[in-house]
Chains A and B, each alone.
Chain A
Amino acid sequence: MSGRSSMRTPLERVRGLGSAHTGTGDFWRQRLTAVAMTLLIVPVIVVVIMLIGRNHAGAAQILGSIPIAIILLLFIVASTWHMKIGMQVVIEDYIHNEKLKIASVMANNFFCVAVALASIYAILKLSSGV
């Protein structure tokens, strides 16, 4: 920070960034992942219905097929990303203690990355048939 005080915020520091300090990136990605899931929801529901009532061998065979694995991978990436952004908004709206807020945002990131990677790993394992 410079010692000079001014009523005006230096434009180069705030241009396109706003109060979140990261600009409109999260706003855009929240919409991007929402549109992706809107397109993917019908195929995903079809896959889930295909699996109802099947035993492990049948389910594993369906989940390991290439088009179904790709549909689920796309949906997992879009949904966990969307979850991360959405929960961060909720945290920032309701948690006002700064330390608790930072810890919550961190936990949110850990949770979403863990859910994403565990699910992706499971699908890749099913696809490789090991």
Chain B
Amino acid sequence: MALSIVHRATGVALYFGTLLLAWWLIAAASGPTAYANVQAFTGSAIGKLIVFGYTWALMHHLCSGIRHFVWDLGYGFKANEREALTWGALVAGIALTVLVWIIAYAVGGGR
């Protein structure tokens, strides 16, 4: 498994995805019209896809990063441990992404 490149790629994606977060905060500070523009974008099909992709990139980078913490602490270097950590990060990243979206729809969907 060569997942380190995915850690890096999701990091780069999050780097540029931060623009969306900054745009959203600036719009909230600017006023109702600017905020409505952000909501129109994040509510569109392409906007939802980008925010979903951003969520996965964030969750994967988080889980993959925790895997790096384990290695930084000096554990998990055996072949089977490395495999388990890598698959664990991949699966947990996807699971957390789905979980966050389910909660988001359950809480915010009706508003």
Contacts and interface: CB of A to CB of B under 8 A. Distances in A.
Interface in A40-96: 41, 45, 48-57, 59-60, 63, 72, 79-80, 83, 86-87, 90
B76 interface: no
Nearest to A79: B18
Given A34-B65, A122-B26, A56 B32 contact: yes
A53 B109 contact: yes
Interface of A: 31, 34-35, 37-38, 41, 45, 48-57, 59-60, 63, 72, 79-80, 83, 86-87, 90, 115, 118-119, 121-123, 125-126
A78 to B, nearest CB: 12
Given A53-B108, A87-B15, A90-B12, A119 B103 contact: no
A54 B43 CA distance: 12
A123 B69 CA distance: 31
A121 B15 CA distance: 19
* B interface, over-half SS: helix
19 contacts: A38-B65, A38-B69, A41-B58, A45-B100, A48-B104, A49-B104, A49-B107, A50-B108, A52-B109, A52-B111, A53-B110, A53-B111, A54-B111, A56-B32, A60-B28, A63-B25, A80-B18, A115-B19, A119-B26
* A interface, over-half SS: helix
Interface of B: 8, 11-12, 14-15, 18-19, 21-22, 25-26, 28-29, 31-32, 35-36, 58, 62, 65-66, 68-69, 72, 100, 103-104, 107-111
